[in-house]
């Protein structure tokens, strides 16, 4: 595993998180492959096929939430030449304009591809932690 590629991916995901937390859709979009073959699987089981479907969801979220916070932790990077996989844990806190907060957390996996000089997320899957009894 290349130390350089691992550092690039660490920086990339830090930037992705910061773009999400600042609710900057244009900057967040820059981290993704905006092709119709992009796939986003969310914790509710919804599948967004194509970047446009996922972008519509994000636009609504950013527009109607007062604040959103994405945390990514314990990310493990596995670069393989021009592709890579990333796994770890996520937590999102969404706060509406009346101050009500909803929190979700779980596991995440990303598939990334190097396109020109940049990495892009080409597939992502978020799952919710099972409730412990």
Residue 129 confidence class, pLDDT cut points 50, 70, 90 = confident
Q: What is the average pLDDT across 69-74?
A: 95
Q: How far is C-alpha 68 from the geometric centre of its chain's CA atoms?
A: 13
Q: Residue 67: in which H helix or E strand, if any?
A: strand 65-80
pTM, two decimals, is: 0.88
In sequence order, what are the residues at sequence separation of 6 or more whose Cβ sits closer than 8 angstroms to the Cβ of residue 128? Answer: 43, 104, 105, 106
**Residue 128 token pair:** 């919710």
Average pLDDT, the chain: 91
CA distances from 65 to 41, 69, 91 (A): 21, 10, 16
Q: What is the pLDDT of residue 132?
A: 45
Q: What is the pLDDT of residue 133?
A: 37
């Amino acid at each position: 595993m290349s130390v350089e590629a691992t550092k690039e991916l660490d920086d990339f995901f830090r930037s992705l998180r910061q773009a999400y937390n600042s609710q900057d859709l244009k900057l967040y979009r820059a981290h993704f492959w905006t092709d119709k073959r992009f796939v986003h699987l969310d914790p509710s089981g919804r599948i967004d096929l194509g970047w446009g479907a996922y972008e519509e969801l994000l636009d609504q979220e950013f527009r109607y939430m007062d604040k959103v916070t994405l945390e990514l932790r314990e990310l493990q990077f596995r670069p393989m030449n021009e592709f890579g996989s990333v796994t770890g844990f996520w937590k999102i806190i969404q706060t509406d304009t009346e101050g009500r907060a909803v929190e979700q957390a779980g596991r995440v996996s990303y598939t990334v591809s190097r396109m020109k000089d940049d990495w892009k997320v080409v597939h992502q899957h978020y799952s919710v932690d099972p409730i412990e009894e």
